[in-house]
Structure 1
Amino acid sequence: MLRELKIENLAIIKSLDLELENGLVVLTGETGAGKSIILDGINMLIGEKISTEMIRSDEKYVASEGVFEISKDTEIELKEMGIDMEDGEIIVRRELYKNGRGKIFLNGKRVPASTLKKIMNSVIDLVGQHEHQALLDKKYHIKLIDKFLDEDGVKLKKEVEDIYFSYKEIIKKIENNELIQKELKDKKELYEFQYNEIEEVDPKENEDEVLEEEYKKLFNAGKIKESLSLSRILLKDGEKNVMGMISKSKNAISNISRYGKEFKEILEKLANIYYDIEEAVYGIENSEADVEIDEYRLNKVVERLDKINNLKKKYGYDIKELLIYKQEIEEKLNKIDNNTINETELLKEKSRTEEKYEKKSKELTEKRRKIGEYIVYKLIEELSDLNMKGIKFEVEIKSKKEISKTGRDNVEFLVSTNIGEELKSLSKIVSGGEVSRIMLALKAIFSKVDNIPILIFDEIDTGIGGETVRKVSEKLRGIADNVQVVCITHSPQIAAVANQHFYIEKNILDEKTSTNVTKLNYEARVNEISRMLGGEAISEAVKNHAKELLKEGLK
Structure 2
Amino acid sequence: MLRELRLNNLAIIKNLDLEFNEKFIALTGETGAGKSIILNGISLLIGERSHTEMIRNGEENLFAEGVFELNENQKKRLNELGFEIEDDELIITRFFDRSSKSKIMVNGKRQTLSRLKELMVNIIDLVGQHEHQFLLNNEYHLHLLDRFLNDEGKELSKKIRENVSEIKKLNLRIKNIENEKSKIEEKKDVLEFQFNEINELDLKENEDNELEEEYRILFNAGKISEKLEETSQLLKEGEFSILTALGRAKRNLEQLSDLSESYSELSEKIESVLYEIEEISYSVDNSIGDVEINDNKLEKIVERIDKINKLKRKYGSTITEILEFKDKIEKDLSLVNFENEELENLKIQKKELVSQYFQDSEKLSEIRMKIAGNLQNTVDIQLSDLNMENAKFKVEIVKKEEITAHGTDNAEFLITTNVGETFKPLAKIASGGEISRIMLALKSVFSEVDNISVLIFDEIDTGISGETVRRVAEKLRELSRNTQIICVTHSPQIAGKAQQQFFIKKEIENNFTETKVRELNTEERIREIARIISGDNITEASVSHAKEIMGLWDKKVLI
CA 1:349–1:552: 2 relative to 1, 3 Å = farther
Matches within 5 A, 1:61-100: 61-76=61-76, 86=87, 88-100=88-100
What residue in structure 2 maps to residue 193 of structure 1? 193
Deviation at 1:533, TM superposition (A): 2.8
* Residue 48 of structure 2 corresponds to residue 54 of structure 1: no
2:234–2:242 contact (8 Å) kept in structure 1 = no
Unaligned runs of at least 5 residues, structure 1? none
Contact 1:83 1:109 in 2 (8 A): no
Please report how far the alpha carbon of residue 296 of structure 1 lies from its aligned counterpart in structure 2 after TM superposition: 4.5
Distance 1:446 1:299 in 2: 94
**Corresponding position: 1:527 with 2:531:** no
In structure 2, the CA distance between the partners of 1:208 and 1:553, relative to structure 1 (3 Å rule), is: farther
Greater shift after overlay, 156-165 or 69-78? 69-78
Name 2:10's counterpart in structure 1: 10
User: Comparing 340-349 with 141-150, which one deviates more in the overlay?
Assistant: 340-349
Percentage identity across aligned positions? Answer: 48
- Secondary structure class of the residue paired with 1:387: coil
Report the Cα distance in structure 2 between the residues aligned to 1:91 and 1:33, rounded to whole angstroms.
27
Q: CA deviation at 1:482?
A: 0.9
User: What residue is the counterpart of 2:426 in the other structure?
Assistant: 426
Counterpart of 2:557 in structure 1 is none
Partner of 1:258: helix, strand, or coil?
Answer: coil
Specify the alignment match of 2:345 in structure 1: 345
Deviation at 1:367, TM superposition (A): 2.0
Aligned to 1:238: 238
Q: What number of residue pairs does the alignment pair up?
A: 553
Equivalence for 1:361: 361
Per the alignment, residue 140 of structure 1 pairs with: 140
Structure 1 counterpart of 2:21, one-letter code: E
Query: 1:15-414 counterparts in 2 under 5 A?
Result: 15-76=15-76, 86=87, 88-216=88-216, 218-219=218-219, 238=238, 250-268=250-268, 271=271, 294-414=294-414
Deviation at 1:148, TM superposition (A): 1.1
SS of the aligned residue for 1:259 comes to coil
For 2:488, the equivalent position in structure 1 comes to 488
Deviation at 1:480, TM superposition (A): 0.9
3-state SS in 2 of match to 1:405: coil
Query: Partner letter of residue 521 of structure 2?
Result: N
Q: Is the 8 A contact 2:547 2:553 kept in 1?
A: no
Deviation at 1:50, TM superposition (A): 3.6
Q: What secondary structure, in the 3-state scheme, does the structure 2 residue paired with 1:253 have?
A: helix
Q: How does 1:539-554 map to 2 (within 5 A)?
A: 539-551=539-551
Q: Do the aligned partners of residues 50 and 462 (structure 1) sit closer, same or farther apart at CA in structure 2, a change above 3 Å counting?
A: same
- How many angstroms apart in 1 are the aligned matches of 2:250 and 2:28? 141
Contact 2:236/2:243 (8 A) holds in 1: no
Contact 1:10 1:54 in 2 (8 A): yes
1:366 to partner: Cα distance:
2.1
Mapped contact 1:386–1:437 kept (Cα < 8 A): yes
Instruction: Give the deviation of 1:62 after TM superposition.
Output: 3.8
Q: Tell me, what secondary structure is at the counterpart of 1:546?
A: helix
Offset at residue 454 of structure 1 (A): 0.9
| Matched AA of 2:42 | I
Q: In 2, Cα distance between the equivalents of 1:212 and 1:13? A: 94
Q: State which drifts further: 314-323 or 165-174.
A: 314-323
CA distance in 2, matches of 1:102, 1:236: 104
TM-score (normalizing by structure 1): 0.86
Q: What's the CA shift string for 1:120-160, capped at 9, x where partnerless?
A: 22222111121221111111212211111122222222222
After TM superposition, the structure 1 stretch with the greater mean CA deviation from structure 2, 120-129 or 261-270, is 261-270
In the TM superposition, residue 404 of structure 1 has moved relative to its aligned partner by 2.5
Distance in 2 of aligned mates of 1:52 and 1:549: 42
Question: CA–CA distance in 2 between the matches of 1:519 and 1:466?
Answer: 27
The verdict on how the C-alpha distance between 1:118 and 1:244 changes in structure 2, with shifts beyond 3 A counting, is closer
1:455 counterpart letter in structure 2: L
Distance 1:351 1:494, change over 3 A: same
Equivalent residue letter for 1:382: Q
Q: Which amino acid aligns with 1:549?
A: I
Any conservation in 1 of the 2:315–2:321 contact (CA below 8 Å)? no
Distance (whole Å) between structure 1 residues aligned to residue 289 and residue 508 of structure 2:
133
C-alpha displacement at 1:453, in angstroms?
Answer: 0.8
Distance (whole Å) between structure 1 residues aligned to residue 128 and residue 229 of structure 2: 120
- Displacement after TM superposition at 1:499 (Å): 1.6
CA distance in 2, matches of 1:47, 1:486: 18
Shift of 1:537: 4.1
Q: Structure 1 residues 108, 251: CA separation in 2 closer, same or farther (over 3 Å shift)?
A: closer
Tell me the secondary structure at the aligned position of residue 482 of structure 1.
coil
**SS of structure 2 residue aligned to 1:91:** strand
- Please give the alpha-carbon distance, in whole angstroms, between the structure 2 residues aligned to 1:179 and 1:386: 61
Query: Structure 2 vs 1, CA of residues 268 and 322 (structure 1 numbering), >3 Å: closer, same or farther?
Result: farther
Please tell me the residue identity of whatever aligns with 1:377.
N
Residue 497 of structure 1 contacts residue 552 of structure 1 at CA under 8 Å; is this kept in 2?
no
Q: Please name the residue that 2:467 is paired with.
A: 467
> CA shift at 1:46, angstroms?
2.1
Cα distance 1:258–1:495, how it changes in 2: closer, same or farther (>3 A)?
same
CA contact (8 A) 2:228 2:284 kept: yes
Distance in 2, matches of 1:209 and 1:8, equals 85
**CA distance in 2: counterparts of 1:109 and 1:146, whole angstroms:** 33
Q: Please say if residues 29 and 504 of structure 2, whose CA atoms lie closer than 8 Å, have aligned partners that are also in contact.
A: yes
Distance, in Å, in 2 between the alignment partners of 1:392 and 1:528 is: 37
Q: Deviations over 1:31-76 (max 9, x none)?
A: 2233222222222322223443334444444433322212334434
**Alpha-carbon distance, 1:198 to partner:** 2.6
Does the C-alpha gap of structure 1 residues 273 and 185 become closer, same or farther in structure 2, counting only changes over 3 Å? same
Q: 1:212 to 1:507 in 2, by over 3 A?
A: closer
Displacement after TM superposition at 1:485 (Å): 0.8
The answer to whether the 8 A contact 2:391-2:419 is kept is: yes
Aligned CA distance change for structure 1 residues 249 and 364 (closer, same or farther; 3 Å): same
Q: CA separation in 2, counterparts of 1:397 and 1:351?
A: 26
Contact in 1 for aligned 2:236/2:242 (Cα 8 Å): no
Output the CA distance in 2 between the equivalents of 1:454 and 1:277: 109
How far is 1:247 from its partner?
5.4
Q: Which moved more, 1:277-286 or 1:196-205?
A: 277-286
